[in-house]
Structure 1
Amino acid sequence: MTLSIADQNKLDKFWSYCVKNQYFNIGYPESADFDYTILERFMRFSINNCGDWAEYCNYLLNSFEFEKEVMEYFADLFNIPFEESWGYVTNGGTESNMFGCYLGRELFPDGTLYYSKDTHYSVAKIVNLLRIKSRVVNSLPNGEIDYDDLMKKIAADNEPHPIIFANIGTTVRGAVDNIAEIQQRLHQAGIARDDYYLHADAALSGMILPFVEEAQPFSFSDGIDSIGVSGHKMIGSPIPCGIVVARRKNVDRISVEIDYISAHDKTITGSRNGHTPLMMWEAIRSHSFADWQRRVKHSLEMAEYAVRRFNLAGINAWRNKNSITVVFPCPSEVVWKKHCLATSGDIAHLITTAHHLDSSKIDALIDDVIADFNAHAA
């Protein structure tokens, strides 16, 4: 069967719409300069990565071989020996974070999950789905977790096994929670390293910090137990996806044997997209370490350019260290809608992902924000 002419026209109009709006997202952290045409031929197959890529699976059309190489890459990037790690390509940041929280809950079934007010909204959903005890912690003005409030609440709860959800680049302000500070505070409180779990949500910054000279600590060598990074953000992908990496010793606790596929499953969703591991594999194989460094350097320079332009116009814009998220006072609705900005309360932000090759879109936005503020100040 074929589509009617009307339906074909509808698809053609949507194609034109996508081409026109491909690079609209100055307010959202999705890189749009990817090219996976080399993989288009695989779209005719039902590729399902059900089960564990490290084991045999009776469903033969899988991309396990490629997924394994993706996980080897990220284990190395996040400083954990591959044989001591396990992870997989997820449906996105929410699944990656749920996996980390799930491991923490299985390790400490009665533990309390602590996360800051600047944490991504999905964590509240994860708390409900996992039915895990939780406490919301205050944030510092720059978006970092309030370390004093964190310890105050752990002490008030008399919690012997805290599960800490650390942000490595918050959604709105791009703040990085200080892993070393958190661990030092826990140590001072008499909580041994084996008595707490530390998950890092590095959805955006997980592909920034490994490529800068003075990165904040956030990897396994810095003491984390699991980490999630998005595939469709700094890397870029037509299908939302993520990568989660954890310590193998903790993952083994949740392994389930599935007889009808002759495999073990350690994942949240079971049947998984087999195409996104191919995309992540192609991305890491076609970009050298130096390539990622150049992309990150350019993005950071564009962010600093935006801060300077705002500040020269008398508008209080700022960004956190090693962040491509530029925070500024929220303009009027007509401006933030025109530029598809993400807003939160009295602030908005722009994000300088790598497809912003020049400052044209940044300048257009800043010009409108300056005009808007001048009009309201008159």
Structure 2
Amino acid sequence: MTHTHTHAFDLATAADLRRGPDIAAVLDHLVADATATAATSIGYPGAVDLDHTAVMARLGHRLWNNIGDPSDPGGVAHTRVLEQAVIAWVAELVGMPAEDRWGYVTTGGTEGNLSALHAAYRRWPTARIYYSTAAHYSIRKIVDMLATYKVVVRAHPDGQMDYDHLAEQVRKRRRWPAIVVATAGTTMTEAVDDTDRIHAILTEYSMVGHVHVDAALSGIPLALDGALRLDDTSGIGSVAISGHKFFGVPTPCGVVLVRDSVRNPARQPIAYTAATDTTITGSRCGLAAALLWHAIALHGREGHRWRVAEARRVAGYAVERLRAAGWPARRWPHALTVVLPTPPEAVRKKWLLATDGPVSHIICMPGITTGQVDALAADLAAAAIPRPRAR
């Protein structure tokens, strides 16, 4: 992210590793570099208000490997009991029936999307997979990996799916099942696709298939609001949520939930692990499961609702503060993401802003302060302010 990274990795070349590098110096440099940029790292989602030291101090000295199905009583258990608790907590939060759910702790949103879409495609192998132009880049990659037929649906400038275009595309392909990927928190604007409208379109054309929600960023906040539900009336078959975003876990991870009735797993027993192989990776990071459990247990539902409310308060403040500085800004009412015209390069680099052409954003994750917003606003006020083109 900055030029100082080069010096850190100069200490970790292959030759240095053969000789024996100054391990403490390399690690200290990485920590110092990350610490130096922490105050201005507000362009990418990762909560910074939770302290996971208690878990790392107790568990960080050994391997925690959750092998096999999370509910499998055999094999190496490690932290599977905590993984089961995490899955149950998230499933209950979104109202997923206990008799029709399955899930596990993943390496992140991408694996969650892959696991869910793989299950849906095994269930409906002639399906077309629909996703919008605002969907996360992992969706196209996954569709290519599965070698399925894909249908790309337009998204509006605000990031939400164009439902008229979805209906048009579905109507043309009524003879095949439909797997539709909705997004709850698009990458640039944190738009949320309306799954009720998607379900209504599929119902209108008597389509069979599956609705998957990629809720990597907004899943937990929306579920705490009661706005993301996977009950029997929702029409949603699966959801993927990140663990390192809202929960601020210090390693990429996530949770995937899939209706058990959708799955057609090859429950292959693996002799030497004494477990069944039902997940994408087989081995899973037991430390990630413990960290997620710790984050959930530390605050509970009400504590996490407070964290959402405080983060949204800061995001609302950011919109007002940036506008007062003469810089246009906007956000969805539910969102932690604040969208603004792309600033000059110096501002983008200092604040590590996520940028897509003419649009950039900041994300006011839990732990981001109004002081940081004020400092960004001051830099934007000093920069060239975009002027509307003359008509």
TM-score when scaled to structure 2?
0.89
CA separation of 1:183 and 1:352: change in aligned 2, threshold 3 A: same
1:125 aligned residue: 141
- Work out whether 1:374 is the aligned partner of 2:385: yes
The size of the alignment, in residue pairs, is 370
Alignment of 1:109-258 (within 5 A): 109-191=125-207, 195-212=208-225, 216-221=227-232, 222-258=234-270
Residues 157-198 of structure 1 deviation map (CA, whole Å, 9 limit, x = unaligned):
34431100000110111000001111112222232xxx1101
Kept in 2, the 8 Å contact 1:29–1:204? The answer is: yes
- Out of 52, 55, 66, the position equivalent to 2:72 is 55
* Cα distance in 1, alignment partners of residues 166 and 21 from structure 2: 60
1:301 aligned residue: 313
TM-score when scaled to structure 1?
0.92
1:323 aligned residue: 335
User: What's the secondary structure of 2:60's corresponding residue?
Assistant: helix
Alignment of 1:39-50 (within 5 A): 39=55, 40-50=57-67
* Cα distance in 1, alignment partners of residues 386 and 149 from structure 2: 48
Deviation at 1:4, TM superposition (A): 5.6
- Work out whether 1:88 is the aligned partner of 2:104: yes
Runs (5+) with no aligned partner, structure 1: none
User: What's the secondary structure of 2:379's corresponding residue?
Assistant: helix
CA separation of 1:375 and 1:100: change in aligned 2, threshold 3 A: closer
* Cα distance in 1, alignment partners of residues 266 and 328 from structure 2: 48
* Cα distance in 2, alignment partners of residues 108 and 164 from structure 1: 12
Kept in 2, the 8 Å contact 1:84–1:249? The answer is: yes
CA separation of 1:266 and 1:5: change in aligned 2, threshold 3 A: closer
Kept in 2, the 8 Å contact 1:165–1:200? The answer is: yes
Runs (5+) with no aligned partner, structure 2: 1-18
Deviation at 1:143, TM superposition (A): 0.5
* Cα distance in 2, alignment partners of residues 232 and 146 from structure 1: 29
CA separation of 1:188 and 1:5: change in aligned 2, threshold 3 A: closer
Identity of aligned residues (%): 35
User: What's the secondary structure of 1:248's corresponding residue?
Assistant: coil
- Out of 27, 42, 51, the position equivalent to 1:35 is 51
Residues 200-247 of structure 1 deviation map (CA, whole Å, 9 limit, x = unaligned):
0111111111233xx544533522100011000011111110001111
User: What's the secondary structure of 1:320's corresponding residue?
Assistant: coil
Deviation at 1:259, TM superposition (A): 2.2
CA separation of 1:22 and 1:339: change in aligned 2, threshold 3 A: closer
Equivalent position amino acid for 1:97 in 2: N
* Cα distance in 1, alignment partners of residues 359 and 149 from structure 2: 31
Kept in 1, the 8 Å contact 2:96–2:229? The answer is: no
2:354 aligned residue: 342
* Cα distance in 1, alignment partners of residues 219 and 330 from structure 2: 21
Kept in 2, the 8 Å contact 1:139–1:146? The answer is: yes
- Out of 276, 281, 305, the position equivalent to 1:269 is 281
- Out of 122, 140, 146, the position equivalent to 1:106 is 122
CA separation of 1:104 and 1:12: change in aligned 2, threshold 3 A: same
* Cα distance in 2, alignment partners of residues 48 and 121 from structure 1: 29
Kept in 2, the 8 Å contact 1:99–1:268? The answer is: yes
